[in-house]
Amino acid sequence: MANEVRRKYGTPICFCVSASLSPADPATDMRPEGSSPTNLALTGNALASAAGRQSIKGDLWGGLTTAPTGFILYGVVDFTGETPSATGRFDYYLAPSVHSTQANGNIAGNSGADAAAPDGALGSITLAEFLRQCVFIGSLPTHDGASVQNGTVTLEGFALPHYGQLILVNNSGDALENDDVENHQVLIPFVDEVQ
């Protein structure tokens, strides 16, 4: 009898401001239908061009009991009333951690908090230096529309660390809208199991 590989998905993780998130257009809401995502705080409100933001540190396995073998990441950013570049992008990084406690075991010794990246890092590390210590996971290209923009950032086949932070870097040419009603990033971990 031949072995069969089955993909098992974990609970989606929504990086957002949960008290504010309320997408007006269902077409831009990337939370999977019928799911109850785990929310991890990531404030996008008015994030300036050339600036970075780090999420609060959290569990990235989505309830899976074995290490995910990959993940899907969807990005949603709000430029309503703004003027992003048609050749811009949002860059996404992962800052892995070896510890579940927020302030322990973080890349560059940062705080593990939802804050400007790299918040609380040791020494005088810059954003560019911090990003070189993180794992690049993909980009969301922007267009010049003053609207909510969303898309697939990555479909990756490398294992997720158990704990970590999502790092969002605005290279779009303009700041995000001054609220967090639409901004959210959704990570869906998965594991491929041989049956």
DSSP string, 92-151: EEEEEES-SSTTSSBGGG---SSEETTTT-STT--HHHHHHTSEEEEEEE--S-SSEEEE
- Residue 1's pLDDT band (boundaries 50, 70, 90)? low
pLDDT tens, 110-167?
999 999 999 999 999 999 999 999 999 999 999 999 999 999 999 888 888 999 999 9
**pLDDT tens for residues 171-189?**
999 999 999 999 999 999 9
What integer pLDDT is reported at residue 159 of this predicted model? 82
Task: Choose the CATH number for 42-194 among 3.30.70, 3.30.450, 2.60.120, 1.10.357.
Answer: 2.60.120
Domain boundaries, the chain: 42-194
What pLDDT score does 155 carry?
A: 83
d(CA 114, CA 95): 13
pTM for the complete prediction? 0.95
